[in-house]
Structure 1
Amino acid sequence: MNETVNILVVDDEKRILEVVEAYLKKENFKVYTAIDGEKALKIFKEENVHLIVLDLMIPKISGEEVCRRIRTVSDIPIIMLTAKTEENDKIEGLTIGADDYLTKPFSVRELVVRVRALLRRSYRNCNPLADYLVFNESDLEIDVKRMKVKKKAVEIEITPYEFKVLLALLTSPGQVFTRKQLVEKAFGIEYEGFDRTIDSYIKNLRHKIEDNPKSPQYISTVYGIGYKFVDQKI
């Protein structure tokens, strides 16, 4: 990522916030902090946050609920922190949308390593040409930072995974990507799903952004190879 990386750290223990913030700032990250779920959601809505370190047991709105709400609108990387040590607690955290998990007490140096690894995996080679893209005289508009898509000026519902696939195609309009390349660009090399899963995401995207999904003008199939985003006049 070429821009400043913004990280939100959420924990109700002031000492943990101070130490984690100091370590992350030393690594040249910009850090926002919150001591409760309410403030965390406020910062998430107002700032361009790239990754969240989220404690589960926080006041006002629990970490689990914060994660659930964020996952309805964003696929931002989330590392969960918790004092809970049971396997079921870990599974629950990952099930509701966490990407990684650390049990308290934890090594701050290990946290920093995990933050960097998760950022690399989440944003690997997936930078589109601009933050706001307009195609075919405003027929299709894509707000990259807000993860919003409009078709004929009407905002459409799009899942985080569908949006990642769309962004992967938009990194190089006109370039043909194999299914494997799209998986790696959209989800990282550690993704455990099948390459053919991409076909489902492409099908869903076409139904949402194309006038005629059976004769697409944006996402074109290159038979025997994969898919490409047709570079329309902007």
Structure 2
Amino acid sequence: MNLLLADDEPLMLQVIKAYFMKEGFHTFLAQDGEEAINVFYQHKIDLAILDWMMPKRSGIEVCREIKKMGRTKVLLLTAKGNVDDEFLALQSGADDFVRKPFDPRILLLRAQKLLQLGAKMTFGDLTVDLDAQKVYRDGNDVQATHKEFELVKYLAQNKGQIITRKMLLDQVWGLDYYGEERTVDTHVRRLREKIGEGRIKTYRGMGYSLVADDE
């Protein structure tokens, strides 16, 4: 999932970014409204989290621009607290509205709800149960190891995108892991044996991608 975070407070951006990256989001940052719009047009954005009060162009203006162009979800952040402000935010096309200050964990849950990233992700006969940390094929537990689960979870959250070995190492094994990228290949091979060879597509010299069907 590609996430646009726009706020003129650098510390706020970094805190929110850390929470979302941990859950597998690709995050793009902007510190004013114009930069946010530029990022939106340069990348396929699934969710935009916009601060209302930003330099150059407000979050409301950016929201309206984004909503004219497609179905990207928009969540507005603001210190404003009265009913009229909330009405204006939703009238501009925003899908949700969160008042500052807020707990980043709550923001993450609201974002996941907007994107319909519930406790389970299903792709044909494949189900990734985030709560149970299990992977099912045709309703049967494939007995995925912890690393295999984290691997398929990250690929599922970014379905259709090519994920490099380096990205998988950083997200699944951690930034402090210094092993070889071949470790990823080994785990992908074992995972394919459990969920189906056609589920994970290899892009030579680039990385891997989860596909919807065994085709």
| TM-score w.r.t. length of structure 1 | 0.50
Matched, 1:33 2:35: no
Match of 2:15 among 19, 23, 29: 19
Mean CA deviation greater in 87-96 or 72-81: 72-81
Corresponding residue for residue 108 of structure 1: 104
SS at structure 2 position matched to 1:59: coil
Alpha-carbon RMSD: 2.2
| 1:115-145 deviation digits (Å, cap 9, x = unpaired) | 1111017xxx9x9xxxxxxxxxxxxxxxxxx
Aligned to 2:85: 89
**What letter matches 1:35 in structure 2?**
Q
For residue 71 of structure 1, report the CA deviation from its aligned partner.
1.5
- Runs of 4 or more above 3 Å deviation: none
2:48 to 52, 55, 58: 52
In 2, Cα distance between the equivalents of 1:50 and 1:44? 10
Aligned match of 1:77: 73
Q: Determine helix, strand or coil for the equivalent of 2:70.
A: coil
Which residue identity is paired with 1:25? M
Q: Residue 41 of structure 1: CA displacement?
A: 0.3
Amino acid at match of 2:78: T
Runs of at least 5 residues in structure 1 that lack an aligned partner in the other structure: 128-234
Query: Any residues of structure 2 matched to 1:116-155 within 5 Å, and which?
Result: 116-120=112-116
TM-superposition CA deviations, 1:62-82 (whole Å, max 9, x none): 111111111111221111000
Question: How many residues were matched structurally?
Answer: 122
Q: Which letter does structure 2 place at the counterpart of 1:115?
A: A
Separation in structure 2 between the aligned mates of residue 26 and residue 42 of structure 1, nearest angstrom: 25
For 1:100 and 1:18, locate their aligned partners in 2 and report how far apart those are by CA, in whole Å.
21
- Partners in 2 of 1:7 and 1:69 — Cα distance? 16
Per-residue displacement from partner, 1:19-70 (whole Å, max 9, x unpaired)?
A: 0000000111110010000000000001011101011100011111111111
State the AA in 2 paired with 1:96.
S
Aligned to 2:191: none
1:9 to 5, 19, 44: 5
Query: What is the CA–CA distance in structure 1 between the aligned matches of 2:5 and 2:41, rounded to whole Å?
Result: 14
The runs of 5 or more residues in structure 2 that have no matched partner are 124-215
> Which structure: greater helix fraction?
2
